[in-house]
Chains A and B, each alone.
Chain A
Amino acid sequence: MMADTYDAIVVGSGISGGWAAKELTEHGLKTIVLEAGRPIDPAVDYVEHVMPYQKRYRGMGDRSRLDRYQPVQSQCGACDEYAGKFFVNDLDNPYSTPEGKPFSWIRGRQVGGKSIMWGRCVFRWSDLDYEANLKEGVAIDWPIRYKDMAPWWSHVEKFVGVQGRREGLAQLPDGEFLPPWPLNAAEAKAREVLLTKFNGERLVTNMRLAVITENHLGRQKCHLCGNCYRGCITLSYFSSVNSTLPAARKTGNLTLRPFSVVHSVIYDPKTKKASGVRVVDGNTKEMFEVKGRLIFINAAALESTRIMLNSTSPEFPTGLGNSSGELGHNLMDHIMGGGATGELPWAKDRMEVGRRPDAIYVPRFRNVKSKHPDFQRGYGFEGRAERPGWERGSSMPGFGARFKKSLIGDLGPWEMTFDGFGEMLPRHENHIAIDPHLVDAWGIPALRINCAYSDNELKMQEDMVVTATEMLEAMGATNIRTFKENNAPGLVIHETGTARMGRDPKTSVLNSHNQVWDAPNVFMTDGACMASNANQNPSITYMALTARAVNYAVDQMKRREL
């Protein structure tokens, strides 16, 4: 087949690929987006208003099917009877792990990628995060700082539509915010009490969310159905399908090709650049090539690095971008599953109307002003206060007419949960490589993932339980239940690293503009590029890095340096 030629190729249409497509096409570049999965039509595929009684198992999931086809994916709660179709088939998409070292690799292969089911929490980093590696002598120094990123966060936040409350915190800088939903009565009181009891250090603030509270750039404000992970027919949360891809399409410069599984990048030793990509058609399994002047790899961290590891040539026998030997290394996720729930003593005469998809956040307070003796870095808490309503019925004592009346006519106590999300340190030994014996359904060599949490993360998780309990006790909460889950890494679905940015081609894969040292017309701007992972949810950072990298690449093209 004759190869088509484009100004730019974007591999992947998820949260960062969508941004690459929007920015490249708006700069006038004829761009093809190659998406491994199927197309998505919101009118048909979004299922946020499907009621439990319209599903065979009332939303409990088609268990035998999930166990058979999605045993890994269904570890993520969003891979359920409604939204399971947005997660990959594990049989088609295998990977291996060493005995006793599981890794939960959660993936979405469709137009929009995981941006359809993502958590939508968006935070900036601060220099506390960017300087940590250098100051602590961990891994390598980031080649960028807050000032390099701030204008790009602003750029993407204005388009995304981010609700948030300005708090003026040094460790969690404010962004371009739309008005947030108010805290509910119980959370507002929690904020007030904790501010006093912890000298302002532990702050309950409104979750910063990519869900719009007022109409924004042609998208309708959120209608509070609470089921974002299943899609949104009013396009109220940000996703590639709802936002960036339509913007890219409007330019007339976008070609979107679903069912295009990218195998590898083609390197041309004459130009010392990449000339295009090899693609396997998702349906026919035929291989073809697409040529382009610029290539953005946005397949999601581990898939992006897998493509690069599979891009072998006489010049780069261990993969394109691997001259430093760091390609595939320094894999990170976050650590979650430490925290507590308790019943609050107040606001018994108040209730909520409307279902917020997310509620509150407690920004990092460990290792901000004083040093913690047991671990480096820190964590934040996601959480909410809610009244369980009828859902408390299975654990509530009793049965009969009064039991029934209480489940219908009362809501139960306000329960507040703090669920920690902590930083994982970059370590060389946490890595991915090509498994020599395993291929996916398209014949493409698959990954072997070798990753484990270390003491630092586990101690942090223990501390989450302690501080969450302290906060609940400070509020006079009762029936406090702590939890400390033993999740495999990957399950937070913030997998990052494996193609880190740096200042030196000897120790990093990408330069300060996400440009592959080995092939200057190839850019990696998804989670693969991260040199550390902070504790904040990462997606908005990938978006900002993508917009920044496109701007740089286009500028270099204009100067004829690319």
Chain B
Amino acid sequence: MRRREAIQFLGAAIAMQFVPRNAQAVIELGERLHRQIGDVPFRTLNAAQQKLVTQIAEMIIPETDTPGATSVKVPEFIDLILTEWATEEEKAAFLAGLADIDVQSVAMGSPRFVELAEAKRGEFLTGLDAKRPAKAGAAHAFERIKALTVYGYFTSEPVQVNILKTQMFFNGYDGNVPFTPRV
């Protein structure tokens, strides 16, 4: 962990020699470096759990013509919330739910969810989705992953800036603007 941070920091120091002169670009570079250095490694989810959470998050919001959950670092966000934000009980219920997902996978044909065939995985999650809200077990873990994936995805910088194009300044209010869904 320290090593990874040190390498990133070194990378930052080298990059600084090629700082653009334009002020806005300097700010953007600074923010990018800051974020890289501030990246939080996984601290609660172990390698197997990371794989499971990542796969489910990516199934909820997959990469299409726009980024998916993984590329905007939803799994890292979920780990941060589990590590620093959730109570011990909430964390335990979440992790027990993850374990339960694998337990239930056995009946679908594999002791690990991530090793199920794609169609089976979809079928499995559809079943869990129908069981929400759930206080415990696989459906509970899925419910939490889904909520955090939606929230983490849509509040991420790439999505806010490039997809939602969130604005802070409007010249006035209009509550009667024509709208056609793009789905």
Interface residues of A (CB under 8 A from B): 48-49, 51-53, 56-60, 63-64, 181-188, 213, 223-225, 349-356, 390-391, 393-394, 397-411
* Of B80, B152, B156, B174, the contact of A352 (CB 8 Å cutoff): B174
Measured in the bound complex, the distance between the Cα atoms of B156 and A407 in whole Å is 15
* Of A48, A63, A404, the contact of B85 (CB 8 Å cutoff): A63
Tally of B interface residues using CB under 8 Å? 44
* Of A58, A63, A409, the contact of B183 (CB 8 Å cutoff): A409
Check B60 against A349 for contact (C-beta < 8 Å).
no
Measured in the bound complex, the distance between the Cα atoms of B160 and A56 in whole Å is 16
Check A352 against B173 for contact (C-beta < 8 Å).
yes
Chain B residues closer than 8 Å to A224, beta-carbon distance: 169-170, 172-173
Chain A residues closer than 8 Å to B77, beta-carbon distance: 58
Check B154 against A407 for contact (C-beta < 8 Å).
yes
Q: Is B49 an interface residue (CB 8 A)?
A: no
Check A52 against B160 for contact (C-beta < 8 Å).
yes
Check B174 against A400 for contact (C-beta < 8 Å).
no
Chain B residues closer than 8 Å to A223, beta-carbon distance: 168-171
Measured in the bound complex, the distance between the Cα atoms of B163 and A356 in whole Å is 22
Given A51-B157, A408-B66, A353 and B163 touching (CB < 8 A)?
A: no
Chain B residues closer than 8 Å to A53, beta-carbon distance: 155-157, 160
Contact with A along B69-103 (1 / 0, CB 8 A): 00000000100110011000000000000000000
Interface residues of B (CB under 8 A from A): 59-62, 64, 66, 77, 80-81, 84-85, 122, 125, 129-130, 146-147, 150-152, 154-157, 160, 163-164, 166, 168-183
Check B182 against A409 for contact (C-beta < 8 Å).
yes
Check A393 against B170 for contact (C-beta < 8 Å).
no
Could you list 29 examples of A-B contacts with CB < 8 Å?
A51-B157, A53-B156, A57-B80, A63-B85, A182-B173, A182-B174, A186-B175, A188-B176, A223-B171, A350-B175, A350-B176, A350-B178, A352-B174, A352-B177, A353-B170, A354-B172, A390-B150, A390-B164, A391-B154, A393-B154, A394-B151, A399-B60, A399-B61, A403-B60, A403-B61, A404-B62, A404-B64, A409-B181, A409-B182
Chain B residues closer than 8 Å to A398, beta-carbon distance: 129
Task: Output the nearest chain A residue to B61 by Cβ-Cβ distance.
Answer: A404
Chain B residues closer than 8 Å to A188, beta-carbon distance: 175-176
Chain B residues closer than 8 Å to A394, beta-carbon distance: 146-147, 150-151
Given A224-B173, A356-B173, A400 and B122 touching (CB < 8 A)?
A: yes
Check B179 against A351 for contact (C-beta < 8 Å).
yes
Chain B residues closer than 8 Å to A409, beta-carbon distance: 181-183
Chain B residues closer than 8 Å to A397, beta-carbon distance: 129-130
Looking at the assembled complex, report how far the CB atom of B55 sits from the nearest CB atom of chain A, in whole angstroms: 12
Check B151 against A58 for contact (C-beta < 8 Å).
yes
Check A225 against B168 for contact (C-beta < 8 Å).
yes
Task: Output the nearest chain B residue to A387 by Cβ-Cβ distance.
Answer: B179
Measured in the bound complex, the distance between the Cα atoms of B182 and A351 in whole Å is 13
Measured in the bound complex, the distance between the Cα atoms of B70 and A110 in whole Å is 42
Chain B residues closer than 8 Å to A354, beta-carbon distance: 170, 172-174
Task: Output the nearest chain B residue to A399 by Cβ-Cβ distance.
Answer: B60
Task: Output the nearest chain A residue to B66 by Cβ-Cβ distance.
Answer: A408
* Of B66, B85, B146, B160, the contact of A60 (CB 8 Å cutoff): B85
Task: Output the nearest chain A residue to B68 by Cβ-Cβ distance.
Answer: A404
Chain A residues closer than 8 Å to B172, beta-carbon distance: 181, 213, 224, 354
* Of B59, B152, B160, the contact of A399 (CB 8 Å cutoff): B59
Task: Output the nearest chain B residue to A402 by Cβ-Cβ distance.
Answer: B183
Check B173 against A181 for contact (C-beta < 8 Å).
yes
Measured in the bound complex, the distance between the Cα atoms of B144 and A84 in whole Å is 25
Given A52-B155, A225-B168, A410 and B176 touching (CB < 8 A)?
A: no
**What 5 A-B pairs have minimum CB-CB distances, sorted nearest first?**
A184-B175, A409-B182, A393-B150, A52-B155, A351-B179
Chain A residues closer than 8 Å to B157, beta-carbon distance: 51, 53
Looking at the assembled complex, report how far the CB atom of A28 sits from the nearest CB atom of chain B, in whole angstroms: 40
Measured in the bound complex, the distance between the Cα atoms of B81 and A64 in whole Å is 11
Check B183 against A183 for contact (C-beta < 8 Å).
no
Measured in the bound complex, the distance between the Cα atoms of B121 and A400 in whole Å is 12
Chain B residues closer than 8 Å to A56, beta-carbon distance: 80, 84
* Of B85, B174, B181, the contact of A410 (CB 8 Å cutoff): B181
Chain A residues closer than 8 Å to B173, beta-carbon distance: 181-182, 224, 352-354, 356
Looking at the assembled complex, report how far the CB atom of A445 sits from the nearest CB atom of chain B, in whole angstroms: 35
Given A397-B130, A399-B60, A405-B183, A183 and B170 touching (CB < 8 A)?
A: no
Task: Output the nearest chain A residue to B147 by Cβ-Cβ distance.
Answer: A394
Given A59-B155, A400-B59, A349 and B179 touching (CB < 8 A)?
A: yes
Chain B residues closer than 8 Å to A186, beta-carbon distance: 175
Chain B residues closer than 8 Å to A403, beta-carbon distance: 60-61
Chain B residues closer than 8 Å to A407, beta-carbon distance: 150, 154
Chain A residues closer than 8 Å to B170, beta-carbon distance: 223-225, 353-355
Check A390 against B154 for contact (C-beta < 8 Å).
yes
Check B84 against A64 for contact (C-beta < 8 Å).
yes
Q: A213-B172, A404-B61, A410-B181 are known contacts; what are 18 more A-B pairs with Cβ within 8 Å? A: A48-B168, A60-B81, A60-B151, A225-B169, A351-B179, A353-B173, A354-B174, A393-B146, A394-B150, A398-B129, A399-B60, A402-B183, A403-B60, A405-B183, A407-B154, A408-B164, A410-B182, A411-B181
